[in-house]
């Protein structure tokens, strides 16, 4: 007999693999969330399913790196950018105070190497000004980040300072699990999903895909909220094929706990 308190009798993971239209409506098991958690997911049919505090807007933390992949990911990947992270550079510090060592784009994205991204963004700014002019470059930046900025960016024609706030540090960029999922679902973000699969699904992802065993990719990230500790927390965004999922956990749960939670919710055993 089915027990409604069990998280998954038919694991969500298996249902999320199905992206083809079905002659009968698909019924998703309702995940059991803990207080303060928010979950949004799609199985690839265009429908968004939300649970818990999925509509609560909070600082987006290092999910912002995925937005940078939308803006500059193709350029950085084509140049095979690299950076040596020592943990600090001038007034800026990295998410790992001991430094990440030598990083490429994949490692910087996985490990939230702020210094690497700030360095690559500074280089990109030079190109923006040359290619577009400063006002047009700012308009391009605002267009890509618009869903997460609200009205928190001061007006002006010049490019704003590219500080860690643009990497999700603090309150400049905000979103909710539902809003970020809908952003990922937009056709314009197909490249972001591709980068996620390429850089975040694990070392053997290409081999598994060739064998017809497409794997999940996940991007974790923590967020802070100056003056509002209750708004801080940890994010996980990920996908497999056309299926996408975004989870936010409240403060006190780090990246390892977040990965354990998403895997339990999805019924992933390996």
pTM: 0.87
Burial of 266 (0-12, 13-18, 19+ CB in 10 A): buried
Token pair for 147: 């869903």
The residue ranges of every structural domain in the chain are: 12-58+173-266, 61-167
Distance, CA of 23 to chain centre: 33
Nearest one of 20, 69, 95 to 199, comparing CA atoms: 69
Alpha carbons within 13 A on the beta-carbon side of 60: 31
The per-residue pLDDT for 117 is 97
The per-residue pLDDT for 8 is 39
Q: Say if residues 171 and 49 touch (Cβ distance below 8 Å).
A: no
Token pair for 22: 């079905």
Token pair for 238: 């990920």
Query: Dihedral of CA 97/98/102/103: which sign?
Result: negative
Cα-based distances in Å from 257 to 70, 169, 192, 241, 262: 27, 20, 24, 24, 9
The per-residue pLDDT for 156 is 86
Alpha helices (H) along the chain: 12-16, 64-79, 105-111, 114-132, 134-149, 177-185, 190-200, 205-210, 255-266
* 63 DSSP 8-state letter: G
Count of Cβ atoms closer than 10 Å to residue 18 Cβ: 15
Mean pLDDT by groups of 10 residues along the chain of 270 residues? 39 56 54 92 92 95 96 96 93 89 95 96 94 93 96 90 93 96 96 91 53 75 75 90 93 86 83
């Amino acid at each position: 007999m089915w027990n409604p308190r069990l998280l998954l009798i038919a694991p969500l993971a298996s249902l999320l693999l199905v992206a083809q239209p079905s002659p009968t409506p698909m019924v998703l098991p309702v995940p059991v969330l803990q207080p303060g958690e928010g979950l949004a997911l799609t199985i690839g049919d265009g429908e968004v399913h939300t649970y818990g505090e999925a509509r609560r807007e909070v600082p987006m933390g290092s999910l912002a790196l995925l937005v940078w992949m939308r803006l500059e990911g193709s350029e950085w990947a084509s140049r095979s950018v690299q950076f040596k992270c020592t943990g600090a550079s001038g007034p800026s510090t990295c998410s790992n105070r001991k430094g990440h060592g030598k990083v490429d784009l994949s490692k910087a994205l996985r490990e939230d190497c702020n210094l690497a991204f700030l360095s690559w963004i500074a280089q990109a700014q030079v190109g923006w000004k040359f290619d577009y002019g400063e006002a047009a470059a700012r308009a391009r930046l605002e267009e890509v980040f618009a869903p997460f900025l609200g009205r928190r960016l001061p007006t002006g024609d010049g490019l704003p300072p590219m500080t860690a706030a643009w990497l999700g540090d603090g309150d400049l960029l905000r979103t909710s699990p539902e809003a970020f999922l809908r952003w990922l679902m937009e056709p314009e973000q197909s490249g972001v999903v591709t980068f996620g699969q390429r850089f975040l699904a694990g070392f053997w992802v290409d081999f598994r895909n060739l064998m017809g065993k497409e794997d999940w990719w996940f991007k974790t990230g923590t967020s802070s909220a100056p003056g509002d500790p209750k708004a801080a927390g940890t994010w996980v965004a990920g996908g497999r094929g056309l299926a996408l999922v975004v989870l936010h956990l409240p403060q006190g749960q780090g990246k390892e706990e977040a990965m354990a939670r998403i895997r339990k919710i999805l019924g992933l055993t390996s």
